[in-house]
Homo-oligomer: A and B are copies of this chain.
Amino acid sequence: MDSMAKILLAEDEPALGQIVKESLETKGFQVLLCKDGQEALDTYYQAKPQLLVLDVMMPKKDGFTLAKEIRMQDATIPIIFLTAKSQTQDVVEGFTLGGNDYLKKPFSMEELIVRIKNLLNHRKDQVPSEMSIGDYIFGFKQQTLTYKKEEPIKLTHREAHLLFHLHNNKNQVLDRSIILKKLWGDDDFFNARSMDVFITKLRKKLKRDERIQIVNVRGFGYKLIC
């Protein structure tokens, strides 16, 4: 299984990229090495790898921006970020949940391999594609909400991710800034307002079961009650 896995590696420093590529290949992975973010995005669409290893600082498109675009296409593909130690902790942490992980440079190859194997193996188990919310069934990967036996309601990427995090923290207050960093990568005024819009959209789509509520906690965040 692992032996066939296709890995996309985006690293702008040629020497490092080559070493990592070769090391991974000796472990039986197929490695696609890209030297900048744009090339990585193109390669992603073309080759559909099972896992991404992205340098954060890259020409043309940085790792986070790239990751966000790819997450629009695939909500669950595991991503490992390679970060320089100068990278601030909190920015990185915003990305580490979900199918993500990160490694600080310099890192050992063993460590990278362990994490790759871990993400590839446990992936299927980590995100059970369907979860129940009240009388709804929420298909995260399918991006659908199904009320009892009715026609599934389609969710957009943002809606599905937002609901996913709310559900993971159901009956607890989920901090605005945590959601914003996870979904938008940053916490600024406009993102915050955008998020409010999606809360409205989710409330509409969830209103068939009145036991389910998304309650606001002023100044802190939202709480999914079910």
Contact = CB atoms under 8 A, between A and B. Distances in A.
User: What does DSSP make chain A's interface, helix, strand, loop or mixed?
Assistant: mixed
B75 A128 contact: no
A96 interface: no
Interface in A38-87: 61, 65, 68-69, 71-76
A6 to B, nearest CB: 18
A215 interface: yes
A72 B172 contact: no
A217 B161 CA distance: 11
Nearest to A168: B75
Contact of A76 (B61, B171, B217): B171
A68 to B, nearest CB: 6
A65 to B, nearest CB: 4
Given A65-B125, A157-B217, A73 B169 contact: no
Interface string A103-127: 0000000000000000000100111
Nearest to A73: B131
Size band of the A side of the interface? 20 to 34
Given A213-B142, A225-B142, A218 B157 contact: yes
B75 A125 contact: no
23 contacts: A61-B125, A65-B122, A68-B125, A69-B125, A69-B128, A72-B127, A72-B131, A72-B167, A72-B168, A73-B131, A73-B132, A74-B170, A75-B168, A75-B171, A75-B172, A76-B171, A76-B172, A141-B171, A141-B225, A142-B213, A142-B225, A143-B215, A156-B218
Interface of A: 61, 65, 68-69, 71-76, 122, 125-128, 131-132, 141-143, 156-157, 167-172, 213, 215, 217-218, 225
